[in-house]
Structure 1
Amino acid sequence: MVQPWQDTTLPAPLRAADLLARMTTEEKTAQLSSVWLGTEGESAEVAPGQHVYANRSAHLEGLLPHGIGQLTRPFGTVPVDPAEGAARLAELQRTVRAGNRFELPALAHEECLTGFTAWQATVFPTPLAWGATFDPELVTEMAEAIGTSMRTVGIHQGLAPVLDVVRDPRWGRTEEAIGEDPYLVGTIGTAYVRGLEAAGIVATLKHFAAYSASRAARNHAPASIGPRELADVILPPFEMAIRDGGARSVMPSYNDIDGVPGHAHTELLTRLLREEWGFGGTVVSDYFAFSFLESNHRVAASPADAARIGLAAGVDVELPAARCIDIADRLPEELLDRAALRVLTQKCELGLLDPDWEPTAGDTPVDLDPPHMRELARQVAEESVVVLANDSGVLPLTDVTRVALVGPLADEQAAMLGCYTFPRHVGVHHPELPAGVEVPTLAEALRAELPGAEFIDDPAEADLCLAVVGDRSGLFGRGSSGEGCDAEDLELPYGQGDLLDAVFDTGTPTVVVVLSGRPYALGRWADRAAAVVQAFFPGQEGGGAVAGVLTGRVEPSGRLPVGVPRERGGLPAPYLAPPLGRHNGASTVDPTPLYPFGHGLSYTSFEWGAPQCESPEFPTDGETALRLTVRNTGDRAGTEVVQLYLHDPVGTVALPDVRLVGYARVPLDAGASAEVHLTFPADLAAYTGADGRRAVEPGALELRIAASAERVHHTVPLTLTGPVRQVGHERRMRCEMRVK
C-alpha cells in the first residue's frame, strides 16, 4: 500500500510531514547529518580545524540503520573517473536505501564554483571573470550546462554561487566573488542560480552574510559593518537570488557580525531569511562551522551545545560530516522536527521520496568535458578579458616579429585556474595524475595565434615584450590567491614588481598581462606600459581567450567588476563610498583607483547619442523610460557595455556618490547602431535610513549613462514626487534594459 509520503500527487510539504510523523528521533536526527567518505583521518585535512572532534564524526555504518541526510563530495574529494564515480555513487545510494526502513536515499552535493569540481570536468572561469562579462544570459547558459553534467552522474546540490560583495580585495576569496557592486553581484549571481536550478540542481547561496566585510580582509575574521551597509550592500544579492532566481539553499558564513557568529545568527537565518523574505528551502552549514561555534567563536560549551545553537538559529544540516549533530544526543524536539521537515520537503521536491526513484545507473560512458562545455568556457573567458590601457595603440598585435615573453606565469597552467578548480583544489595532492582536461598556457596559445613570430627570452633583443604576472591560486597559504590566502597589501606577489621594473628599464615597449584572482596595484607602471590587459583566472580556455584579445582575433568586451588600485595601500578603494570615503584634502592618502569599476577598452570606437527621457518627473511609486542610440564608429565589430549609475545629491544619511543600477551589452558591426531602452523604477532609488527602514524619498536624482563609474557620457536629471514611501521585499530590484 502506498503511504501518503510516497504519493506523488500530493504536495511536497504534506508528504514530508507525513513521513516525519512516522520517524523516530534517531531517524529525524540522521536526516540532518552528512557523511564525507575518504576524509576520516587527519591526514586528509583540507582546511584548518577539520580534525576538531574527529572522534565524534559519524561514519556511514553507524548512520545506515537510521538513514543519511547528505553525501559530501563523492566526486570532488579525490580524483575519480567520471563513469566509475557515477557507478560508485549509484551503488552507495543503493546501500543507503537498503540500510534504513523507509528506503530513503541521501542527497549528494558537490562544489561547482568554476564548473563541476570533479576530475576531467570542464574548468570554467572563476566568478570574478563572470562579473567581468556583464553578461547574465551567458552565465545562465553556463550554469545550466554545469548543472546538467552534475545531475547526469547523480548529484543533487551545488555549493554555489558566492554572493559576497567584495569590500577589500586583499581578501583571498576575492576570486570566488563576482564583484564589488551589489547590483552586478545580484544580477550575475541570480543568472547563475537560474541556470543551476533549471538543470534540477539545488543552488546554494554563500556566504550569508558579510563574510567579505571582515577586518583587514582576513579570512574568518570578525566583520566590522553597520546595519545600513549590511542592508544596502551585503544582503541585496542574496535577496535577489532567492526571490528572482529561485535558490533553494543558503549557507551561512564563518564570520561574526558584532559578536554574533553567522551560524548562530537568528536575526539573519530566521527573522530575515524565513519570515521577511519567505525562504522555504534548506540552510546548510559551511564546512565544520558547527564545531567552530565551540572551538573558534567560543559561544558553545560542547559539540551538542553547538548543534543546539545552530539549529535554534535556523541551520538545518551539518556539513561536511556529522560532528556535532549526533543521534546519541537528545536535541530539542521542536528544533529537530523543524529542520527535518525542511530536509524531507526538499528531498521530496527532488524526487527522492518517490517509490520508483532509482539512482543514476552509472553503466554508460560519461563525458564531463564535452565540446559544447568547452565552447561555453571559451565564450565566458573571451568576454571576461579586460583591456585596461592601450594608449600607444600597440594592441592588437598584428605585425610583430620578435616577441619577448617573460614572467613566471607566461607558461604555467596555474595562471588560468582558481582555487576551487579541481586541478588546484584537489589535483595538487595527486601530482602523479594529469590535470584531467587540456589547459593551454598563454605561451602555448600565443605561439598558435602568431605562428610567424619569433618568441625569445631577452627583452632587450625584442620588438615587443609581453610581461605576464599575477597569481597562483591555492588554499590556506598554498597560493597567493584563494581561500585563506589573504594579502597584506596589493603589491604584486612573488617579487614580480621588481621583474616589471627590470623589463621597463630595457626600453622595450611592454604589454603587461595580469592573470590573477584579485586586482593588484599597477600605478607604479601606468606611465611606462604600452598596454595593460587583465584576466581573472579565465579557466581552461583562458590561454586562447587572452591570446585572442592580444592579437585581435577576439574583440575585447570585458569590464572591471572591481577597480584596479593605483597604490598598494589606501584601501579599500572608493567605489560605493560616500564623499568622506573619497580623496580629500584632510588626508595624505589617496584611494582613487587607477582604473575604476566598469572600466574596459575596445579596439573600435562608439558614439553615444543623447538620451531621450519619457518623463523626468514621476512619483515615488512610479517609473520612467529612457532610450539612447549607440553607434559603432570604427572599422571593426565590437561590443559596448552601457552602464547606468544613480547619483542622489542629498540624502538623510551619507550615500555613495554613484552606484550601478543597470547595464546592457551592445554588440555592433562596424558602422551599425542600436537603440538601448531602459525602464527605471523609483524603487531603485530606495536606501536604508538611520531608522533602519528602506524608503524612496521625493526630490532630485541624477542618472548617469556611462562607460564606467568614472567615465560618464550623459546625465539625466530626474525628480521624484509624492510622499516618502517605505519599501520591502516586494520592491523592484532591477532596471530593465533592452537592445533593439
Structure 2
Amino acid sequence: MTTAPWRDPALPAAARVDDLLSRMTLEEKTAQLYGVWVGAATDGDGVAPLQSEMAADYDYDELINHGLGQLTRSYGTAPVDPALGAQALASAQRRIAAAGRFGIPAVAHEECLAGFTAWGATAYPVPLAWGATFDPGLVEEMARRIGHDLRAAGVHQGLAPVLDVVRDPRWGRVEETIGEDPYLVGTIGTAYVRGLESAGVIATLKHFAGYASSAGARNLAPVRAGVREFADVTLPPFEMALREGGARSVMAAYTDTDGIPASADPALLTGLLREEWGFTGTVVADYFGIAFLQTLHRVAGSPAEAAHAALTAGIDVELPSLNCYGRPLLEAVRTGEVPESLVDRAARRVLLQKCELGLLDEDWDPEPATALDLDSAANRDVAGRLAQESVVLLDNPDGLLPLAPDTRIAVVGPRAADALAMLGCYSFPSHVLPRHPEVPMGIDIPTVLDALRTELPDAKVTFAEGCGVSDPDASGFEEAVARASEADVCVAVLGDRAGLFGRGTSGEGCDVTDLRLPGVQGELLDRLVATGVPVVLVLLTGRPYALGRWQGRLGAVVQAFFPGEEGGPAVAGVLSGRVSPSGRLPVSVPREPGGQPWTYLQPPLGLAGEVSNLDPTPLYAFGHGRSYTTFAWEDFTGTTPGITTDGSCDLSLTVRNTGDRAGAEVVQLYLHDPVASVTRPDVRLIGYRRLELEPGAAARVTFRFHADLSAFTDRSGTRVVEPGALELRLAASSAEVRHTARLRLTGPVRPLGPDRRLRCETEVSPAE
C-alpha cells in the first residue's frame, strides 16, 4: 500500500482518492461515513438531546478494523487534563490507523462555539456578544486562536459557527447566534470562519437551514418561514461564509420546513448548496439527526430508510455515532435498497477532506504538542478585548456612570458573585461540569463583584444576592433592600443561567414563553428602585429581556451577553470608566414581554400603526449603544441623481470625537426601499464600520454601495435588483438616522446569480 498512487502527495487529491476508493470494500467505504463517541454516557441526558436513547450498540475493536470516519468529542465529553487528553487522542488515532488495511486515521471534531469546549480552555464571549462588537477583525483573531488550540490538541474539525438569524428571542439558543440581522450575522460569522480555517481547522456552518425560525420559539419545532424569508434572511449568512470565508463543512439542521426535514432535503443540501453555490466540502448530520428522520420526523420507517433519505439528500457523515450509516446501511446496500453509488459519493467527499488534512499521507504523525496551554495570556487578552467591546451601555440619562471612585456601592443580584454568570451553554463549565461537581472550574473567572472591588479599591462595596436566578423565593429581598438603602448607588446584577434542556434559563432547549426577567428578578428590581437610591442595572444574559417596566426609573442600564471569562473585569471597567463602552445591540430590546416574535426587519404592516392598539416598537433599537464620549458626523457626501441596476456609488462622512476621552463609534448603513414588487423590511443593514478615535481625532469613512445590495427575492422566486427609488441611511442605530442619500436605480430588472456582491466595502482614511 505504501507505493500505491493514493499515498503519493504529488498527485492531485482527486486522483489519490479515486485510486483509494477503487481498492476499498463496501464495509471500508461506509466506515468513513460515521463517527464514534467513545466515553459518551448512556444514562441520563448527557451533553446531547436524547443521548441515552440513541446510544449505538457496537463492538469498537471490530468496528475500527474497517476504518473510521470521525471521533466525537474526545475533550468535550468529560473533564480531562488537556495534555493527557492529547496523548489519549493520539493513541486512539494510532490504534484506528493500525486496525484498518489502509492506515487512515479519523477526523477528530469538537465544539468550539465560544472557545474550545475542553477543560481548562479559554471561555470567550458567546456569539451574541461577538455581534455586539461590530468588529469582524477581532472575532477573526479570536477564531484563529481557537483554531490553533484545536490543532495543537489533535482536533481537525470545529462545530461552529452558528449562522442562524434570530427570529424570536424567546428561543433558547439566541445566545449562540450573532444577532437578528443577516448582514451582521454573515459578516461576523464569515470572520470567525476565516480565523478558524486559517489555523487549518475545518469550520462547520450550522444549522443549515432555518433552525432559528421554529414555531413558538420551541427548540426543534417545525419552521414557519416563507420562501422569501428563507431566501433573504435565513440563507445569506451561509452563502457569505462559504463564498468569502471558505468554510469546508456544513451541518444539516434538525428542523423541517413546510414538511421537509432539512436532513432529507436534496433541494437544500444538493441543489442549492452544491449545484447552485458550488460547495465541495462535507455535509455532516447534527447529532442523531439522521435517526430523528425515523423517530421524530417519521418520514422513514427504519434506520435503513433514514440512511437512504439522508444520503440521497446529501449528508455525508452521520454524527455523533452510527445509528443508521453502520449496519443498517450496509445491509440496505447489499439487498439493493440503497445504491452503492450514494455511499461512493459520500465516501469520496470525506476522503478528499482527509487528503486535504494530510491524513492520507504516509508520514502522517499524530504526536501531540509536548505542552498545551489552552488558556494562555494571549488568549485571555483577546477574550478581554472582545468582552470590553461587547458591553452595551443602553442608557445613562443623567451621567450616573462612570461611578465615583470612593462611593458607597451596594451590589445586589443573583448574577453578581457567580462565575458561571459569564458563560454560555456551550462553554465547558456550563456544558459538561454540571455532571462533575467535584471537578474545579479549570480557568479563572472573576465575578462582577470581585472585579468591581478590584476596579474601585477606595469604594465601600457591600453585597446581597437578593434572590436566585429562576426560583420563586423572595426571602432575600429584605437584606438586598437594606444594603441598597445604605449605599450611594445600587448595582443590580441580574440575568440568565446558561444550561441544557431546561436546566437553565438560556441555552439549548431552554426556551421561554415571554421576555420577562427570569424568576422573581423583576420584583427584586422593583424593590431596589423603590428605595430611591439610584440603580444601575447590569444584565448578564443570553437573550434580550423586556425593560419597558423600568423606563425612566433607572440611573443607567448596561447589557452584556455572556461575556466570557474576562467579562467581569470588562463590565467593572465600564462601571468605573476605565473602559469606554462601545458595544451596539445585535438584537432589539423589547418594551413589553409579549408580542413576540418580532425583530427590526419588519415590512410596513409589522410596524406600529393605527390599525392595532399594540405597539411593537422596541425600547432600544437594533444597533443602539451609548458612549462616555461624543461624536460629530460631518461633511457628508453621497447625493447622486441615480445609478443603473448594475451600478455603484460612494457615500462618505467624517466622524470626529468631540469629547474628552477615547471611544469607538459604529457607523451603520441601512437601506430603505419605498416601493417594490413584494413587501420589504422598512430598513435593513447593508454595511457598517467601527471607528476607534482618540479625543479630538477624526476619520473619514467611505461606503461603496453596489446595486446588488438592494436585491431581494421577487414573486417568481428569483433574486433581482429592481429599478426605482432608494434611500441609503447612515445611522447610529436602525432608529437613529444621521444622514440620508436618495438615489434612483435605472435600467431593467436584473436577475442575480451566485456571483452577486454580498457586502458593502468600506474604506477609512485620515480626516483633514
**Under TM normalisation by the shorter chain, which class is it?**
over 0.9
Q: Report the Cα distance in structure 2 between the residues aligned to 1:518 and 1:687, rounded to whole angstroms.
A: 28
Q: What is residue 469 of structure 2 aligned with on the other side? A: none
Instruction: Decide whether the 8 Å contact of 1:58 with 1:323 is kept in 2.
Output: no
Q: What is residue 160 of structure 1 aligned with on the other side? A: 160
Q: What is residue 679 of structure 2 aligned with on the other side? A: 654
Question: What is the deviation of 1:44?
Answer: 6.4
Unpaired stretches in structure 2, ≥5 consecutive residues: 334-338, 464-482
Instruction: Decide whether the 8 Å contact of 1:304 with 1:326 is kept in 2.
Output: no
1:72 aligns with 2:72: yes
Q: Any residues of structure 2 matched to 1:219-618 within 5 Å, and which?
A: 219-327=219-327, 328-331=330-333, 332-362=339-369, 364-457=370-463, 458-613=483-638, 615-618=640-643
Q: Report the Cα distance in structure 2 between the residues aligned to 1:178 and 1:310, rounded to whole angstroms.
A: 28
Instruction: Decide whether the 8 Å contact of 1:47 with 1:476 is kept in 2.
Output: no
Question: What is the deviation of 1:40?
Answer: 5.5
- The normalised TM-score by structure 2 is 0.95
Q: Report the Cα distance in structure 2 between the residues aligned to 1:710 and 1:299, rounded to whole angstroms.
A: 45
Q: What is residue 10 of structure 1 aligned with on the other side? A: 11
Q: What is residue 717 of structure 1 aligned with on the other side? A: 742
Question: What is the deviation of 1:465?
Answer: 0.4
Q: Any residues of structure 2 matched to 1:11-160 within 5 Å, and which?
A: 11-39=12-40, 41-43=42-44, 45-54=46-55, 56-160=56-160
- The normalised TM-score by structure 1 is 0.99
Cα distance 1:241–1:616, how it changes in 2: closer, same or farther (>3 A)? farther
Deviations 1:463-507 (A, max 9, x none): 000001100000001100000000100000021000000001101
Q: Report the Cα distance in structure 1 between the residues aligned to 2:422 and 2:367, rounded to whole angstroms.
A: 32
Question: What is the deviation of 1:252?
Answer: 0.8
Which one of 702, 717, 720 corresponds to residue 695 of structure 1?
720
Question: What is the deviation of 1:574?
Answer: 4.1
Q: Which amino acid aligns with 2:46?
A: E
Deviations 1:89-131 (A, max 9, x none): 0000000000000000000000000100000000000000000
Q: Report the Cα distance in structure 2 between the residues aligned to 1:739 and 1:145, rounded to whole angstroms.
A: 27
Determine helix, strand or coil for the equivalent of 1:565: coil
Q: Report the Cα distance in structure 2 between the residues aligned to 1:40 and 1:340, rounded to whole angstroms.
A: 28
Question: What is the deviation of 1:50?
Answer: 2.0
Q: What is residue 201 of structure 2 aligned with on the other side? A: 201
Stretch deviating more after TM superposition (254-263 or 43-52): 43-52
Cα distance 1:189–1:394, how it changes in 2: closer, same or farther (>3 A)? same
Cα distance 1:57–1:244, how it changes in 2: closer, same or farther (>3 A)? farther
Q: Report the Cα distance in structure 2 between the residues aligned to 1:268 and 1:454, rounded to whole angstroms.
A: 59
Question: What is the deviation of 1:42?
Answer: 2.6
Instruction: Decide whether the 8 Å contact of 1:462 with 1:508 is kept in 2.
Output: yes
Cα distance 1:730–1:670, how it changes in 2: closer, same or farther (>3 A)? same
Q: Report the Cα distance in structure 2 between the residues aligned to 1:58 and 1:195, rounded to whole angstroms.
A: 37
Q: Report the Cα distance in structure 1 between the residues aligned to 2:690 and 2:116, rounded to whole angstroms.
A: 27
Instruction: Decide whether the 8 Å contact of 1:574 with 1:592 is kept in 2.
Output: no
Instruction: Decide whether the 8 Å contact of 1:153 with 1:360 is kept in 2.
Output: no
Q: Which amino acid aligns with 2:72?
A: T
Cα distance 1:656–1:546, how it changes in 2: closer, same or farther (>3 A)? same
Q: Report the Cα distance in structure 2 between the residues aligned to 1:682 and 1:11, rounded to whole angstroms.
A: 40
Determine helix, strand or coil for the equivalent of 1:242: helix
Question: What is the deviation of 1:58?
Answer: 3.6
Instruction: Decide whether the 8 Å contact of 2:405 with 2:458 is kept in 1.
Output: no
Q: Report the Cα distance in structure 1 between the residues aligned to 2:646 and 2:413, rounded to whole angstroms.
A: 55
Q: Which amino acid aligns with 1:418?
A: G
Cα distance 1:506–1:44, how it changes in 2: closer, same or farther (>3 A)? closer
Cα distance 1:625–1:81, how it changes in 2: closer, same or farther (>3 A)? same
Q: How big is the alpha-carbon RMSD for the aligned residues of Structure 1 and Structure 2?
A: 1.1
Question: What is the deviation of 1:53?
Answer: 4.6
Instruction: Decide whether the 8 Å contact of 2:47 with 2:431 is kept in 1.
Output: no
Q: Report the Cα distance in structure 2 between the residues aligned to 1:57 and 1:226, rounded to whole angstroms.
A: 40
Q: Report the Cα distance in structure 1 between the residues aligned to 2:406 and 2:666, rounded to whole angstroms.
A: 30
Determine helix, strand or coil for the equivalent of 2:686: strand
Question: What is the deviation of 1:391?
Answer: 0.3
Instruction: Decide whether the 8 Å contact of 1:173 with 1:483 is kept in 2.
Output: yes
Determine helix, strand or coil for the equivalent of 2:552: coil
Instruction: Decide whether the 8 Å contact of 1:402 with 1:454 is kept in 2.
Output: yes
Cα distance 1:625–1:614, how it changes in 2: closer, same or farther (>3 A)? farther
Q: Report the Cα distance in structure 2 between the residues aligned to 1:20 and 1:259, rounded to whole angstroms.
A: 36
Q: What is residue 480 of structure 2 aligned with on the other side? A: none
Question: What is the deviation of 1:41?
Answer: 2.2
Stretch deviating more after TM superposition (452-461 or 544-553): 452-461
Question: What is the deviation of 1:361?
Answer: 3.3
Cα distance 1:449–1:198, how it changes in 2: closer, same or farther (>3 A)? same
Q: Any residues of structure 2 matched to 1:655-694 within 5 Å, and which?
A: 655-694=680-719
Deviations 1:146-193 (A, max 9, x none): 000100111000000000000000000000000000000000000000
Instruction: Decide whether the 8 Å contact of 1:35 with 1:58 is kept in 2.
Output: no
Question: What is the deviation of 1:681?
Answer: 0.7
Unpaired stretches in structure 1, ≥5 consecutive residues: none
Q: Report the Cα distance in structure 2 between the residues aligned to 1:101 and 1:702, rounded to whole angstroms.
A: 64
Question: What is the deviation of 1:330?
Answer: 3.1
Instruction: Decide whether the 8 Å contact of 1:400 with 1:463 is kept in 2.
Output: no
Question: What is the deviation of 1:51?
Answer: 2.9
Question: What is the deviation of 1:590?
Answer: 1.5
Q: Report the Cα distance in structure 1 between the residues aligned to 2:585 and 2:754, rounded to whole angstroms.
A: 29
Q: Which amino acid aligns with 2:245?
A: G
Which one of 696, 713, 730 corresponds to residue 755 of structure 2?
730
